[in-house]
Amino acid sequence: MQFVDPHIHMISRTTDDYARMAMAGCAAISEPAFWAGFDRGTADGFHDYFRHLTEVEPKRAALYHIKHYCWLCINAKEAENVTLSREVIKIIPEFLKKSNVLGIGEIGLNKNTANEATIFQEHVDLAMKTNELILIHTPHLEDKFKGTRMIVDMLMNDKRIQPHRVCIDHVEEHTVRLALDNGFWCGMTLYPITKCTPSRSADILEMYGPERIMVNSAGDWGQSDPLAVPALIQELKRRGHAEALIERVVYHNPLEFWKQSNNWRG
Ligand SMILES: [Zn+2]
Q: Check: CB of residue 210 under 8 Å from CB of residue 249.
A: yes
Confidence at residue 265, expressed as pLDDT on a 0 to 100 scale: 81
Residue 96 to residue 57: CA distance in whole angstroms: 16
pLDDT band at 192 (very low <50, low <70, confident <90, very high): confident
Domain ranges, ordered by start, for the chain: 3-258
Please determine, for residue 142, whether its predicted confidence score (pLDDT) is greater than 80.
Answer: no
**pLDDT tens digits, 38-65:** 899 999 999 999 999 999 999 999 999 9
Could you tell me the distance, in angstroms and rounded to a whole number, from the CA of residue 9 to the centre of ligand 1?
A: 7
Distance in Å, CA 3 to ligand 1 centroid: 18
pLDDT band at 194 (very low <50, low <70, confident <90, very high): low
> Looking at 105-119, 138-152, 244-258, which range is the least confident one?
138-152
pLDDT for 37: 86
119 pLDDT band (50/70/90 cuts)? very high
Q: How far is the CA of 10 from the centre of ligand 1 (A)?
A: 10
Distance from Cα 8 to the centre of ligand 1, integer Å: 6
Distance in Å, CA 180 to ligand 1 centroid: 20
The Å distance, Cα 73 to ligand 1 centre, comes to: 12
239-258 average pLDDT score = 98
CA of residue 136 to ligand 1 center, whole Å? 9
- Ligand 1 centroid to residue 107 C-alpha, Å: 10
Share of the chain above pLDDT 70, in %: 99
Quickly count: other Cβ atoms within 10 Å of residue 135's Cβ: 29
Distance from the CA of 27 to the center of ligand 1, in angstroms?
Answer: 19
From 153-162, 189-198, 233-242, the region with the lowest mean pLDDT: 189-198
- Rounded to an integer, the average pLDDT of 7-25 is 97
How far apart CA 225 and CA 122 sit, in angstroms, is 32
Q: Does residue 31 register a pLDDT over 70? A: yes
* Cα 30 to ligand 1 centre (Å): 10
Q: Decide if domain 3-258 falls under CATH 3.20.20.140.
A: yes
Cα(168) to centroid of ligand 1, in Å? 12
* Mean per-residue pLDDT of the chain: 96
Q: Which pLDDT score is estimated for 178?
A: 96
Which residues, by Cβ under 5 Å, contact ligand 1, an ion? 34, 218
* Distance of CA 245 from the midpoint of ligand 1 (Å): 25
195-233: per-residue pLDDT in tens?
789 999 999 999 999 999 999 999 999 889 999 999 999
For 89-94, what is the mean pLDDT?
98
> How does residue 135 score in pLDDT terms, banded at 50, 70 and 90?
very high
b/e burial code for range 138-176 (CB count within 10 A of at least 16 → b): bbeeeebeebbebbbeebeeeeebebebbbbbbbbeebb
Confidence of residue 266 (pLDDT cuts 50, 70, 90): confident
Please report which residue ranges of the chain form alpha helices under DSSP H.
Answer: 15-23, 43-51, 57-62, 82-91, 114-130, 144-156, 176-180, 198-208, 228-238, 243-247, 253-258
How remote is the CA of residue 90 from the centroid of ligand 1, in Å?
A: 22
Dist. CA 240 → ligand 1 center (Å): 30
Over residues 107-117, the pLDDT tens digits come to 999 999 999 99
pTM of this structure: 0.97
**What's the confidence (pLDDT) of residue 34?**
96
